[in-house]
């Protein structure tokens, strides 16, 4: 289960590290756009997993490939809606730090 | 050390280094550019696996579309030379503990698991095969997800316009 000397595990290690860097960023960041960027990192790491599994384990069909394509499309839809929301929030509060957006909280 | 190995480890190192820089950079526009580098390196990994169409989608949709969208919204909502304040150190340490413990658990499970590859002969991974499977309704056909994703994209587009529209 090696290709050009690289086992599947190395792909999985890279994508796991990337996923948890995204989680770390999502917890630490306070700006809405940087949190969105962390979510993009997470989605992207999952895509690497899908494509690597498809290529290494099931080369006879293309399910992982199409799943990764659909995840990319969903990421695009999610980013566009999120940015529309962020622009709307900016109009109301004049900034996009999460700790200042608490109008509905109390 | 063949050229394939060197390319793989180069892309992997770029992905990890630029991911860390994306979540730690204190200037927001730099973080967006580092995210662009991460996405381009991922496209490199797809090219490495001989998935040219996936790599093209990654480059055009992610690196071309989403990053440009993010940069636009950064330019609309933030000052370019503004620096973020550092997060409180307890928050950083707690987040690092959460991420590292999750990573350790996942890696432990992944590395102990024995993956068994399929034995069937691989199919030709070319554009004809992708197009046929994406639009066929029979065995190995993906017409339904394709249609669902197009409806979802249409709905998201209309929603984005309505949400971002000013006033009535």
Whats the size of chain A, residue-wise?
106
Q: Does B71 touch chain A (CB under 8 A)?
A: no
Q: Which residue, B163, B29, B32, is CA-closest to A92? A: B163
Note whether B41 and B62 are within 8 A (CB).
Answer: no
**Which residues, in sequence order, are CB contacts of B79 under 8 Å at separation 6+?**
none
Disruptive mutation site among A72, A82, A89, A91 for chain B (greatest number of B CBs within 10 Å): A72
Note whether A73 and B66 are within 8 A (CB).
Answer: no
Q: Which of B31, B134, B145 has its CB closest to that of A34? A: B31
- Structure ipTM: 0.90
Phi, psi of B45 (to 5 degrees): -65, -35
Q: Does B104 touch chain A (CB under 8 A)?
A: no
How is residue B60 annotated by DSSP?
Answer: I
pLDDT band for position B78 (50/70/90)? Answer: confident
> With respect to CATH, is domain A2-96 assigned 1.20.1260.10?
no
Report the share of chain B in percent with pLDDT over 90.
Answer: 35
- Strand residue runs (E) in chain A: 2-3, 6-7
- CATH 1.20.120.1200 maps onto chain B at 1-103
Round to whole Å and give the CA distance between A36 and B32.
10
Task: Extract the tokens encoding A100.
Answer: 């200042």
Determine the pLDDT at residue B86: 77
Q: Does A100 touch chain B (CB under 8 A)?
A: no
pLDDT band for position A87 (50/70/90)? Answer: confident
Q: Name which residue leads in pLDDT, B24 or B87.
A: B24
Round to whole Å and give the CA distance between B140 and B44.
27
pLDDT band for position A21 (50/70/90)? Answer: very high
Beta bridge partners of A3: A6
Determine the pLDDT at residue A38: 92
What are the chain A neighbours of B45 within 8 Å (beta carbons)? 11, 14, 48, 51
Q: pLDDT of B90-135, one tens digit each?
A: 888 998 999 999 999 999 998 898 888 777 777 777 788 888 888 8
The shortest C-alpha distance from B123 to chain A (Å) reads 5
> With respect to CATH, is domain B1-103 assigned 1.20.1370.20?
no
Q: pLDDT of B49-65, one tens digit each?
A: 888 888 999 999 888 88
Round to whole Å and give the CA distance between B3 and B124.
24
Label residues A8-22 b or e (16+ Cβ within 10 Å = b): bbbbbbbbbbbbbbb
Whats the size of chain B, residue-wise?
168
Determine the pLDDT at residue A64: 86
| Domain-wise residue ranges, chain A | 2-96
**C-alpha angle with apex A9: A8 to A11, nearest 5 degrees?**
70
Q: Does residue A12 have a pLDDT over 60?
A: yes
Mean pLDDT estimate for chain B = 87
Q: Name which residue leads in pLDDT, A101 or B65.
A: B65
Across the range A63-83, mean pLDDT stands at 90
Q: Does residue A17 have a pLDDT over 90?
A: yes
């Amino acid at each position: 289960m090696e290709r050009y000397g690289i086992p599947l595990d190395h792909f999985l290690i890279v994508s796991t590290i990337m996923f948890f860097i995204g989680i770390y960023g999502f917890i630490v960041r306070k700006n809405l756009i940087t949190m969105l960027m962390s979510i993009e990192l997470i989605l992207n790491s999952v895509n690497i997993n899908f494509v690597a599994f498809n290529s290494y384990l099931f080369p006879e069909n293309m399910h992982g490939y199409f799943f990764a394509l659909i995840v990319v499309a969903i990421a695009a839809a999610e980013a566009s809606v999120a940015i529309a929301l962020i622009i709307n929030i900016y109009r109301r509060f004049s900034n996009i730090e999460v700790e200042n957006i608490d109008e509905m909280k109390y | 050390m063949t050229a394939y190995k060197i390319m793989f480890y180069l892309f992997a190192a770029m992905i990890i280094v630029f991911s860390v820089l994306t979540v730690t950079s204190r200037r927001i526009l730099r973080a967006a550019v580092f995210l662009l580098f991460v996405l381009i390196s991922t496209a490199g990994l797809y090219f490495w696996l001989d998935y040219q169409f996936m790599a093209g989608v990654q480059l055009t949709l992610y690196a071309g579309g989403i990053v440009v969208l993010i940069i636009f919204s950064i330019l609309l909502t933030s000052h370019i030379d503004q620096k973020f304040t550092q997060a409180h150190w307890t928050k950083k340490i707690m987040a690092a503990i959460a991420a590292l413990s999750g990573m350790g658990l996942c890696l432990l499970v992944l590395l102990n698991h024995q993956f068994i590859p399929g034995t069937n002969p691989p199919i030709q991974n070319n554009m004809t095969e992708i197009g046929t499977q994406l639009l066929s309704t029979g065995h190995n056909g993906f017409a339904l997800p394709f249609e669902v994703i197009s409806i979802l994209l249409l709905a998201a587009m209309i929603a984005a316009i309505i949400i971002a529209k000013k006033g009535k």
